[in-house]
């Protein structure tokens, strides 16, 4: 688990969220309240979906599309980027610090998550566990058997 967590307040803009994702080279931002309780998440894929052409959602197989041409450089309009994160965040799934590795991994699989916010007993954000963090911790125990 990573203890240095990059998060964002719910009132921050989508432009600010994008800047944090880029600056810290991360794929998910927990959205927190003033007391550092997670209230949602904004993922890289959520923001990238703002640039995705509508037809992508309608086409079952994209194999025939070799490039998107002019839409490759599409940037959402200023009004969209000025919207607050709370308008785009998804519900957050968390685990407590004492959660077992297999349980945490099962939760990630069930909810199709790559990153999982970790909270303390008071529900405050204390870390982020990735699939790689959890998976390597599980595999590390195999060499002790």
Contact between 123 and 37 under an 8 Å Cβ cutoff? The reply is: yes
The pTM of this model reads 0.82
What average pLDDT does range 38-43 have in this prediction?
A: 96
Chain segment 48-75, per-residue pLDDT in tens:
888 765 555 555 655 555 565 555 556 7
CA 97 to chain centre: 19
* Average pLDDT rounded to a whole number, residues 22-28: 95
Residue 66, burial from CB neighbour count under 10 angstroms (0-12, 13-18, 19+): exposed
Compute the distance between CA of residue 116 and CA of residue 62 in angstroms, rounded to an integer.
Answer: 30
Sequence length of the chain is 145
| pLDDT reported for residue 38 | 98
Is the domain defined by 8-144 classed in CATH 3.10.580.10? yes
Contact 7, 32 (CB under 8 A): yes
What tens digit of pLDDT does each residue of 79-125 get? 999 999 999 999 999 999 999 999 999 999 999 999 999 999 999 99
């Amino acid at each position: 688990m990573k203890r240095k967590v990059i998060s964002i307040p719910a009132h921050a803009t989508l432009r600010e969220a994008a800047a944090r994702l880029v600056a810290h080279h991360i794929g998910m931002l927990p959205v927190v309240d003033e007391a550092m309780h997670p209230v949602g998440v904004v993922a890289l894929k959520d923001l990238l979906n703002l640039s995705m052409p509508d037809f992508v959602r309608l086409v079952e197989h994209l194999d025939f599309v070799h490039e998107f041409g002019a839409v490759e450089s599409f940037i959402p309009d200023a009004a969209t980027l000025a919207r607050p994160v709370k308008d785009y965040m998804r519900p957050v799934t968390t685990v407590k610090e004492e959660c077992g590795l297999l349980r945490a991994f099962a939760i990630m699989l069930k909810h199709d998550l790559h990153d999982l916010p970790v909270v303390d007993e008071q529900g405050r954000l204390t870390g982020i566990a990735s699939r790689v963090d959890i998976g390597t911790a599980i595999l590390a125990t195999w060499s002790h058997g």
